[in-house]
Amino acid sequence: MSALNTVIVPIHRAGWPFIAAFAVVTILLASFSSLLGWIGVILTLWCVYFFRDPPRVTPQRDGLVISPADGRISMITPAPPPPELNMGDAPMMRISIFLNIFNVHVNRIPADGVVTKAAYHPGKFLSASLDKASDVNERMAVRLEMNDGRELAFVQIAGLIARRIISTLKDGQAVRTGERYGLIRFGSRVDVYLPAYAQPLVIVGQTAIGGETVLADFSSAEPARIGLSA
């Protein structure tokens, strides 16, 4: 059964309408051509794969900040947080996670705390791999006060293909590390803003696992990590 569970994983409920639509289109295509039908089957299976929601084992300890998304660490750079969160203009340590169309797109809470502000910002749909996507693309930004009083922010950013951001968070909501809170459809990015003194425990190019990879540890004096391609 454990081996089967690694292949068959739960599907996020937001995906079922799309899977059903893909299946109906596949049936219609198959009525015209077997080749088109097989193309539809492949696309339907991809849709199922895209909306998968696998279980994760989340590290639980005060001071840990966990990746809210699966994907590649594309940038680690100082940057001011989104203005709609009212966190000031001083640069924070921004860790950007780029999600391609094959990554799990279910997003998770990076740390225990209380949501002090959740703000949607309309915008463009440029490629999420661009640095300016943080400023000009459609996004859903969240300001979180951790249990020890520290503040961080995490932002869902729509990409070139992504046209729908889903978030269940509201102002004043208490949240737990690793808890599911949303999803971005079809390619996107998630930015995490940490205090400027934070030492990232990930490196550019590394693959992060949402709900599992530790981005930073405020209880540790470990310096920022240096990576080497192999």
Tens digits of per-residue pLDDT, 46-58?
878 878 889 999 9
Question: Going by C-beta distance under 8 Å and a sequence separation of 6 or more, which residues neighbour residue 101?
Answer: 50, 161, 186, 187
Residue 156 is predicted with a pLDDT of 94
Taking residues 52-75, what's their average pLDDT? 93
Better-predicted residue by pLDDT, 160 or 80: 80
- Selected from 2.70.70, 2.60.90, 1.20.1260, 1.10.4160, the CATH number assigned to the domain covering 64-217 reads 2.70.70
Is the pTM higher than 0.75?
Answer: yes
Q: What is the pLDDT of residue 124?
A: 77
Active site residues: 188
Which of 39-53, 139-153, 159-173 has the highest average model confidence (pLDDT)?
A: 139-153
Q: What sign results for the dihedral spanned by CA atoms 133, 136, 142, 143?
A: positive
Which H, E and C letters describe 50-89, residue by residue? HCECCCCCCCCCCCEEECCCCEEEEEEEEECCCHHHCCCC
